[in-house]
Amino acid sequence: MRRTRIVTMLLLLVFSTLPFSITPVEAQQVALDSDIQLSEAWITLPDGVRLAADIYRSTSAPTESRMPVLLEYTPYRKTDSRARNLSLYSYFVRNGYVVVRVDIRGTGNSEGATIPYEYSDIELDDGEILIDWLSKQAWSNGSVGMFGISWGGFNGIQMALRQPPALKTFISLMATEELYQEDVHYMDGIIHTDSWMMSNDLYNALPGAPDFILDEEWERNRFSAEPSVYTYMRQQRDGPFWDRSSARDRYEDIQIPSFHIGGWYDGYRNSIPRMLEKVKAPVKAMIGPWDHYFPNTAWPKPQMEWRHEAVRWFDHWLKGIDTGILDEPRFAVYIRDYHPPNPSLEEVSGSWRWEDGWPIKRTQNQIWYADNEHRLARTPSSKTATHTMKYKPSAGLQGGGPTMWWGSITPDQQPMDDHSLVYDSEPLEEPLEILGRAQALINVSATAPRANWLVRLSDIAPDGQVTQVAGIGFNGTHRLSARTPIAVVPGENFPLKMDLMLTSWVFPKGHKIRLAISNSQWPMLWPTPMPMSSALAIGGIGGAQVQLPVILAAPARVPIFKAPATDPQMPGFETLDAGNLSGYAAITSIELDPKTNEAFGVARNSGGTGYPWGEERFEEAIEHRTSDKNPAYTSVEGSYTLNYQLEDRHLRFEQDVEFTSDPENFRLIFHRRVFVNDEIFRQKSWDEIIPRDFQ
């Protein structure tokens, strides 16, 4: 039985002699079932802007003790997320760390103008100052580590590239260093829209909790700030904008140790093998059966206590303790066994295994060839053929799944395969394990100057269910370079080499391997504008083939991980409605509009949270619409609403987004509104036509 100890959470008054200050705040006392002390601080930067920080420390540590500092640095509203943060950080605090959570400039409770976009020089410049400040506090031993998931994982990589002296190591979860091809704006070089596009700029426009002050400064710095989506939509090809914070071709600049954690159902997992292979500083990595979650609370299961491994890592690099973590193999991987295509699957069957690093030496690249009978065989056919398919822009929901990216668990692929060129193997005579990035080599042509290609690898069970194993897209105009795209020449054949998303899978005996090739994966990826057909070369030297990274059997070395710990809960915070399992607006079906003959689908999500200062409810709906007859006219219309019921008033923040296309242009319209007690208080709109740039 756990012994409950009631202590106080103090918002301490702390002072500094450094050129950056902590401004005192009013002391509060809140009873906690915890031994964690929370100090709220203002950190003043050289330009006078103050960043808001929460500092989590142990109440049992001697007042004069100096400890390593762990930083999480994001725009995701530290005060609103204190329940999450207390639960997450408590493990580190109880193991001898100070954990500091800072709101990025212009977000949450920090001052200043809202950052113009993710990972800007403004954010990273402030980060360097912040890390230096943390290293010089009286409670710091001078060594700082970063950790975080998603945004907080991305900027950990980016801060390491800048090499601030006090940053000694970082742990990035569910993050990538490749901003153009793998982030949420241009997946595989193709425009992508989803829930994040609808919500992120609205949250950044909110005033800080719990006061929600709607004054002129808030209006100027946040409410009236141009949505960051405009910046991304003006950057439709790879280039300097995306290079600014990307580690590709700069891996030598990461000179501190790093630990990378990914999930098989997270869309950022490709970074893990690159980090293991290309970074020369010490690297450790782990990939488990998870979506975009911390592994101790992840879906799907099994979960594990990743923070135990993180403490061992941080203890080695920040405290100089030999924990034995460097004596272990560098890569822990969860090997996935077969599961049916069920987006609500609770647990993924499989097992953990150690690997020495990347590439895995016992990988045997096994080539499978498509033939004229739509078979997938180990030997190439000498008989050549050309297979053609008509482009169906509205096809592809199953490829991207409910949350529309290369993550989450996708449904049965057969409906999408019905509009694809498919090639199936014979039933396997023995199990076949793959681990890595399968590579498809195809020679193709199209009848229009714009065309995309999608390749998916699937497992066909004896009962006919088709489970996606991996996939990838390719913008045909990027065949020579994503930086200088060129139009497809109608009728001209050209080769594509497509590395599918990182995967692990064991095809069982009696199952079939399927290779599927198509030209659309809507609504995940924006359709190309012209009706067309495409052709695929079959057989002979240039025939379609896929190279599978088959892993030869060897004695398994099995890591033993701890089960998730029980964490303290923050009083006054309550989940009223958790919303969708994935956390994002989800789409489950496509319908046909009988009036316009357009295909459409609506992604929805809603949820609610109770806070000490009131209640928040959110609701989102995003309608995707396209036309198989005229895909140039595709659209996304979304609405995101935040309701705050406070003691003294009711606030409602709304944002409507209209993103449409025609043959030559995109049009992006944002409407933002604030209501106080159901009366309009402020409203602002943006409207811009942006030329299509090989999209």
Helix (H) or strand (E) holding 320: none
Q: What pLDDT sits at residue 29? A: 31
Pick the closest to residue 628 from 535, 527, 536, 534 (CA basis): 527
Q: What pLDDT sits at residue 89? A: 98
**R_g (Cα) of the chain, nearest Å:** 26
Per the CB < 8 A criterion, the answer to whether 694 and 478 are in contact is yes
**pLDDT by residue (tens digit) across 28-56?**
333 344 689 999 999 999 999 999 999 99
Per the CB < 8 A criterion, the answer to whether 568 and 32 are in contact is yes
Looking at per-residue confidence, does 666 or 197 come out higher?
666
Question: Do the bridges between strand 512-518 and strand 331-336 make them parallel or antiparallel, or are there none, so unpaired?
Answer: unpaired
**pLDDT by residue (tens digit) across 83-118?**
999 999 999 999 999 999 999 999 999 999 999 999
pTM, full prediction = 0.95
Query: What are 121's two structure tokens?
Result: 């020089």
Which amino acid makes up residue 675? F
**pLDDT by residue (tens digit) across 316-338?**
999 999 999 999 999 999 999 99
Pick the closest to residue 170 from 48, 57, 313, 374 (CA basis): 313
Q: Which CATH number is associated with domain 6-189+238-355?
A: 3.40.50.1820
Q: What pLDDT sits at residue 582? A: 80
Pick the closest to residue 396 from 387, 388, 404 (CA basis): 404
Mean pLDDT throughout 225-239? 98
Can you tell me the distance from the alpha carbon of 180 to that of 198, in angstroms, rounded to the nearest whole number? 19
Q: What pLDDT sits at residue 34? A: 60
Mean pLDDT throughout 138-166? 98
Query: What are 29's two structure tokens?
Result: 């006392």
Superfamily of the domain at 363-551: Galactose-binding domain-like (2.60.120.260)
Three-state DSSP state, 181: helix
Q: What is the DSSP string of 533-600?
A: EEEEEESSTT--EEEEEEEPP-PPP----PPPPP----TT-EEEE--STTSS-B----EE-TTT--EE
**pLDDT by residue (tens digit) across 245-254?**
999 999 999 9
Q: What pLDDT sits at residue 61? A: 85
Query: What band does 3 get if pLDDT is binned at 50, 70 and 90?
Result: very low
Residue 19, pLDDT above cutoff 80:
no
Q: How many CB atoms lie within 10 A of CB 636?
A: 23
Helix (H) or strand (E) holding 241: helix 240-243
Q: What pLDDT sits at residue 43? A: 96
Q: How many CB atoms lie within 10 A of CB 128?
A: 16
Mean pLDDT throughout 200-215? 97
Q: What pLDDT sits at residue 584? A: 86
Q: What pLDDT sits at residue 317? A: 98
| Exposure b/e, 312-321, CB count within 10 A at least 16 = b | bbbbbbbbee
Q: What pLDDT sits at residue 689? A: 98
Q: In the chain, where are the structural domains located?
A: 6-189+238-355, 363-551, 574-691
3-state secondary structure 40-83: EEEEECCCCCEEEEEEEEECCCCCCCCEEEEEEEECCCCCCCHH
Query: What are 522's two structure tokens?
Result: 């809507």
Kindly tell me the burial class for residue 380, based on how many C-beta atoms sit within 10 Å of its own C-beta (0-12, 13-18, 19 or more): middle
Common-topology check for domains 6-189+238-355 and 363-551: no
